[in-house]
Structures are given as C-alpha cells and as structure tokens.
Amino acid sequence: MLIGLVLAGGRSSRMGQDKALLEYHGNSLLQQAQQLLQKSGCERVLISRNQLGFVQDLVKDAGPLGGIYSALTQANNLDELLIVPVDMPFLLPSLLHDLYRYGRKNGRPYYFQHCFLPLYLPITEVLRDYLKQLMDNEGQGSVRHMLAHLQACALPCKARHRLRNLNTPEQWQSAIAG
C-alpha cells in the first residue's frame, strides 16, 4: 500500500513564518501537498509536523530523516512511502507517479537528479536499521547519505522548475507573482 508522507515539521526560519500555512491558489501549502499525494495514488497521507494530531518528531531537530523515522515508528504496516516536502507547490502528480513506478519496478528508492526530495522509499529492514542507528546518535544525518546507503536511483527530470522549494520571502513573492 502506497502511503504519502508530507514533511512539514521544519522551523521555517528562513521564511520567517510557518510555510505549511502559507496560502497558494486557495489552499495552504500543507493542504496542497496532501492533495498532491492523494492525486498521485497514495491510499493514505501522513503529515510529519510537530503539533497535536500529526506525526510528531521522536528525535528533536533531526530534520527530514527524523520525520521519516517518526512516521515509520508511529505508523503500522508501512510498505512504501512517497515523500514530499511541504514547500514544493509546483510538483505534479505525474512526476511523483514516475518516482514510484520506477521504484516499484526496481524495488529501490528513487528521487530526481539534483533534488533528494520528493522521494519514493520502499520500507526495508536496512532502512529501519539505518534510521534507528542515526536517531540513537541524536539524529545527525542527511537524506543524501541515506540515499547513498540504500543505493537509490536518480531519475532525470526535464521539468526541474517543478522541483523548486520556497524557503525565503523573496522566493515566495516570486512564486505568487508568477
């Protein structure tokens, strides 16, 4: 069963306000990411966010890997995840479909070249052990290193502008103006 995971637990320090709550085309970025995963074929969507009612980080300040680890620990029977950050409003279901189609076919994690998120991530014992070891050591690690450890594959992406994060007020203003 394909489960979606929205990573929305960051501090939004560069933006100066909670990115997940910013409104883009009538929805918050959080709502938009959730809908994107549903349109992409996810049967359920989890949200990693340090608030009541969401998957909360088990290890403080562990970044995206902490959100993934917490989702794996707190949700039962996860076979595969399709992971998106909350701050990528230009993503399309077709791009995410490519990730999990190739990932399922080859039984490996898939991401786009030069962009470690979004990510298709099959849940394996190797992954669980890797994340547990990182979290036992205060969560210091990166998505890039995890992908290298798991021998993930990178897909080329002709629509790289769709993989743009919005991290600053200037990037946000540019996105809503254009």
Average pLDDT over residues 87-103: 95
Two tokens at 31? 């709502």
15-29, 106-120, 125-139: range with lowest mean pLDDT: 15-29
**Structure confidence by residue, pLDDT tens digits, 21-74:** 888 889 999 999 999 999 999 999 999 998 889 999 999 889 999 999 999 999
Confidence (pLDDT) at 21: 84
Confidence (pLDDT) at 88: 93
Two tokens at 104? 């399922």
pTM to 2 decimal places? 0.93
Confidence (pLDDT) at 11: 65
CA dihedral for 18, 135, 144, 67, sign (positive or negative): negative
The topology under which CATH files domain 2-177 is Spore Coat Polysaccharide Biosynthesis Protein SpsA; Chain A (3.90.550)
- Tell me the domain boundaries of the chain: 2-177
Distance from C-alpha of 155 to C-alpha of 162, rounded to nearest angstrom: 14
* Cβ within 8 Å of residue 21, ≥6 positions away: 28, 29, 30
Whose CA is closest to 100, among 75, 80, 116, 71?
80
Confidence (pLDDT) at 128: 95
